[in-house]
């Protein structure tokens, strides 16, 4: 029998693997089954199609079934659902969704690329008209059509998809509300940076955001058309369009029923060559778990970029070569109107949970020379392991090139670079592209000082704990007097840097906390005081701008 590769799934991992296997082996028979109407499309592009940035769904189709068949001799079976895998016989059972016909097909190697599906919580009324999920091109076509006539939309979930959809809906003129059950948007980020994104959406883009609440009922009229939502805390919000974007689940049922091992995350367990517990069955993409390259632990982080890389590795091994997939850092980026939010590696929440000793640096800075007319502000938050000095995470948000900085640190983490080694990195400079000293190098300088214990700081979210421990702490605000009068931390005193140095060197208080707007000035002043022998000085990472709208910290002068 001719060797036969069967692939289940036709989006990122499946089609990537099919093409790569064909390049490696011109004679292998390849059949790809998908229960969808479309294959090889960019699911990540669907919010931009909905928002009419991309005018036609054809634009987010990478390749057509005809191209696969005629150019690569790959047999694409649309609207064909694999209903069972029989490993002992090396066969699958397939159902043609158009004719209802069922048949068996035999394979030499099998690749499971079944991806993930939207998680739909048990909300009353999810069957109403104009209630959608967003996982496929078909979903996006329905949402786009509905958005043309709707005036008010509700998005359930404040993750990447939810925030991207908010941009699309606002661009179409829809009054938009986001409802999120957790206390912040973008749960993979720490609250300080996520808070910046929330403030931007509300204050500049008119998106209403409701946190720490959940939808319990979708309301409709006698014709079954959506009219609004009701939340657990009793809020009633009118809406003609709802999109549920609370997350996804891996499609593992086929594998599980076939006796293939499922990992601790609930996704399919694979080795570095993308083999499952059955050697001639491979798996790749959103349906598999992988390794976090920093912690060495199993994780499930479904991303299109990862799916493509895993599909390539699986293909090389299926074709008789040797390749390994070593894991992920969880690198991701999303566009939210003019804002960029990007992340790689661990956040503070995860580092604390895992018991990792770390230091952080938060830097707000222009992404290019400040005198350039298109310079944009970005905030970087970088984490480094206190013991090894290696980077373990970065988050970046703002209107500038945040993702460029995240990609640089992701590369440094992959190479296991220390902060000290990174400070020798020869980054490019020209005014239209970066400041003379890149914000990354500024952050690395701060981290190096903190790791070597030359200086100490606290993060904004640790301020309450710090003040409880340091009850006699002197809080000194070194901002301009007019900024101080507008608002300041409770019990803070306003001083110039000259006045501060004179008084501190003379009085030597038990502990002093220096704060400014974005953290940089207070870092430099703390460093100066340390150099002059003051050992009890601390500053707030990233400054106090994060705390401006938190009543328990704020004291406003009349």
Q: Any idea which residues carry the catalytic annotation? A: 44
DSSP H or E segment with residue 5: strand 4-8
Contacting residues for 451 by C-beta, under 8 A, at least 6 apart? 359, 384, 386, 389, 419
Query: Which tokens sit at 427?
Result: 């980054």
Closest listed residue to residue 169, CA positions, set 181, 151, 156, 157: 151
Contact between 91 and 82 under an 8 Å Cβ cutoff? The reply is: no
- Helix spans in 151-247 (H): 160-171, 191-205
DSSP H or E segment with residue 110: strand 109-112
Residue 321: helix, strand or coil by DSSP? coil
Contacting residues for 111 by C-beta, under 8 A, at least 6 apart? 5, 6, 7, 8, 9, 13, 14, 17, 281, 282, 283, 284, 314, 318
Contact between 222 and 212 under an 8 Å Cβ cutoff? The reply is: no
- Strands 226-231, 236-238: parallel, antiparallel or unpaired by DSSP? antiparallel
Alpha-carbon distance 556 to 558, whole Å? 7
DSSP-assigned letters across all residues of 220-269: E-TTSBEEEEEETTS-EEE-SEEEE-S-EEE--HHHHHTTPPB-TTSSBP
Distances (CA, A) of 437 to 9, 19, 352, 441, 445: 47, 43, 31, 6, 11
Closest listed residue to residue 548, CA positions, set 524, 500, 515: 515
262 φ, ψ (degrees, to nearest 5): -100, 140
């Amino acid at each position: 029998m001719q060797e036969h590769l069967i692939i289940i799934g036709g989006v990122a991992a499946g089609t990537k693997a099919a093409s790569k296997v064909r390049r490696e082996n011109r004679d292998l028979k390849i059949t790809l089954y998908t229960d969808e109407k479309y294959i090889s499309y960019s699911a990540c592009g669907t919010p931009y199609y909905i928002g009419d940035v991309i005018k036609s769904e054809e634009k987010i189709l990478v390749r057509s079934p005809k191209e696969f068949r005629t150019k690569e001799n790959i047999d694409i079976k649309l609207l064909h659902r694999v209903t069972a895998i029989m490993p002992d016989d090396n066969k699958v059972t397939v159902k043609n969704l158009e004719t209802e016909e069922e048949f068996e097909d035999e394979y030499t190697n099998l690749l499971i690329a079944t991806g993930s599906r939207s998680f739909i919580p048990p909300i009353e009324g999810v069957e109403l008209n104009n209630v959608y999920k967003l996982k496929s091109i078909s979903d996006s076509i329905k949402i786009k059509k509905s958005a043309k006539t709707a005036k008010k939309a509700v998005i359930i979930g404040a993750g990447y998809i939810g925030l991207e959809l908010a941009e699309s809906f606002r661009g179409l003129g829809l009054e938009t509300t986001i409802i999120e059950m957790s206390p912040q948007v973008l749960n993979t980020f720490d609250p300080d940076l996520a808070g910046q994104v929330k403030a931007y959406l509300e204050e500049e883009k008119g998106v209403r955001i409701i946190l720490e609440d959940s939808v319990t009922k979708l309301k409709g009229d006698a014709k079954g058309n959506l009219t609004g939502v009701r939340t657990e805390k009793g809020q009633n919000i009118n809406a003609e369009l709802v999109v549920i974007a609370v997350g996804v689940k891996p499609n593992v049922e086929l594998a599980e029923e076939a006796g293939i091992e499922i990992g601790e995350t609930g996704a399919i367990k694979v080795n570095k060559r993308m083999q499952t517990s059955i050697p001639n069955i491979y798996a790749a993409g959103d349906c598999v778990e992988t390794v976090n390259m920093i912690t060495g632990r199993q994780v499930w982080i479904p991303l299109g970029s990862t799916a493509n890389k895993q599909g390539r590795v699986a293909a090389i091994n299926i074709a008789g070569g040797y390749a390994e997939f070593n894991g992920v850092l969880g690198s991701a980026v999303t566009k939210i109107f003019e804002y960029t939010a990007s992340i790689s590696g661990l956040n503070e929440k995860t580092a604390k949970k895992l018991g990792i000793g770390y230091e952080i640096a938060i830097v707000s800075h222009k992404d290019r020379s400040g005198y350039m007319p298109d310079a944009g502000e970005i905030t970087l938050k970088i984490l480094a392991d206190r013991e090894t000095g290696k980077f373990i995470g970065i988050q970046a948000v703002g209107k500038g090139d945040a993702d460029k900085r995240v990609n640089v640190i992701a590369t440094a983490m992959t190479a296991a670079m220390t902060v000290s080694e990174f400070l020798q990195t020869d980054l490019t400079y020209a005014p239209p592209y970066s400041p003379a000293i890149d914000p990354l190098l500024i952050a690395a300088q701060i981290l190096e000082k903190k790791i070597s214990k030359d200086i100490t700081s606290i993060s904004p979210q640790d301020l309450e704990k710090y003040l409880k421990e340091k009850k006699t702490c002197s809080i000194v605000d070194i901002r301009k007097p007019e900024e101080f009068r507008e608002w300041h931390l409770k019990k803070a005193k306003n001083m110039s840097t000259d006045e501060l140095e004179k008084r501190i060197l003379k009085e030597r208080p038990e502990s002093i906390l220096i704060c400014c707007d974005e953290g940089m000035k207070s870092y430099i002043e703390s460093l100066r005081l340390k150099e002059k022998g003051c050992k009890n000085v601390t500053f707030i990472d990233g400054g106090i701008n994060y705390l401006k709208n938190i009543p328990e910290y704020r004291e406003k002068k009349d």
